[in-house]
Amino acid sequence: MKILVVLPNWLGDAVMATPALELLVKEYKDAKFTFIGSYVTIEALQYHPYCEKAIVDRTKNDSDGRLKATIEFAKSLGSFDIAITLRKQPHSSLLIKLVDAKLKIAKSSWHSKLLRIDKTPKIKTNKHLVIQYCELVFGGEKKFDVKEIPKLKLYIEPRKLPRKTLGINAGATYGSAKRWYPEKFAEVGASFANEFDILIFGGPNEVDVANDIEKELINLGVTNYTNIAGKTSIKELCEYIGGCSLFVTNDSGPMHIAAAYQIPTVAIFGPTKHLETSQWKNYKSIIVRDDIKCAPCMKRECPLKHHKCMKNITSQRVIEALKLLLN
């Protein structure tokens, strides 16, 4: 059973799609996946044991234009039994329409309907994104009880770290509204520095934030930290997070990676919907959020300019949540 899957663009979303992949494997014992995705999603999911091909979608940057590039890309992919897109974008619907597949599935949208894709299920968005993906890959024909859906799964071995380690992830690619403050992360790190080494995470665009945490830790007298922001591949990012003993993070891709490895985690939520994108089935996780009127606004930057959904969260609240996990 050859299955083409167009993965979500964002790293965290792709990790949340992994239970749907495991359900497909359970349904089709001879499943062979071809994954198409962004660079970061392919780097994370290409190690799946049922993955035959993992291809980075570069049509957006093609000099001949995306339309022509998508047509040529579809022709190059070969034949499939099922082709599924987990994105809700016109070019991904077009790719699914053009690829040679016996059954084609895309979420209901004006473009998926216009292109007359075989199955365009209406998936309700008022439930966790993991459940939405699981329903989508089966064309909306199956409804899943939470108990039937497995945990998140990554096939990258965690790194063995020499000491107990608290991972700090202050980044969030989506936008500044999702980010708690460097000085508060540093206060949390300092309170655990006697018992844990501190590992500071961050992507290439989050190095400045990580450096601010480092400076604050130094001011607080902490020396047993390592700043690896901007210095890891996606594979190494997964390895290091998987090796942590504790993790504190914004709502982000690394938060979902931590869930895949069942790392005890405190996740700080502000403008995003915690009921839809919280850690899936990590039973050693706590959400810290402030239930104010304007949240969740789902904006990249605070539209009211006060950012109270994050400013109201004290470092002491996060410290107490981490202690609760340890106990």
**258-285 pLDDT tens trace:** 999 999 999 998 666 677 889 999 999 9
Are 253 and 173 in contact by the 8 Å Cβ rule? The answer is yes
Segments forming the whole domain that contains residue 181: 165-326
Taking only the tens place, the pLDDT of each residue in 102-115 is 999 999 999 999 99
Are 212 and 182 in contact by the 8 Å Cβ rule? The answer is yes
Q: Do 141 and 236 share a structural domain?
A: no
Q: Do 317 and 192 share a structural domain?
A: yes
pLDDT average, residue stretch 301-317: 73
Q: Do 137 and 171 share a structural domain?
A: no
Threshold 0.85, pTM exceeds: yes
Nearby residues of 318 by Cβ (< 8 Å), 6 or more positions away? 184, 188, 248, 266, 268, 288
> Residue 290 has what pLDDT?
78
CB neighbourhood size of 200 (10 A): 27
156 lies in some domain: no
22 lies in some domain: yes
pLDDT value at 146 more than 60: yes
219 lies in some domain: yes
| Number of domains comprising the chain | 2
Three-state DSSP state, 324: helix
Looking at 121, 148, 175, the residue that finishes a domain is: 148
CA distance 260 to 244: 12
Q: Do 125 and 264 share a structural domain?
A: no
Give the rounded percent of residues in the chain with a pLDDT score beyond 70.
91
CA distance 39 to 34: 15
Q: Do 185 and 313 share a structural domain?
A: yes
For residues 108 and 300, the model is more confident at: 108
DSSP secondary structure code for residue 146 in this structure:
G
> Residue 193 has what pLDDT?
98
155 lies in some domain: no
CB neighbourhood size of 85 (10 A): 27
Nearest C-alpha neighbor of 203 from the set 171, 235, 227? 171
- The gap between the terminal CA atoms of the chain, to the nearest Å, is 46
Q: Do 241 and 315 share a structural domain?
A: yes
296 lies in some domain: yes
Taking only the tens place, the pLDDT of each residue in 150-203 is 999 999 999 999 999 999 998 766 566 666 889 999 999 999 999 999 999 999
Q: Do 174 and 131 share a structural domain?
A: no
Three-state DSSP state, 79: strand
Q: Which residues of 126-138 are buried (b: 16+ CB within 10 A; e: fewer)?
A: eebbbbbbbbbbb
Q: Do 222 and 121 share a structural domain?
A: no
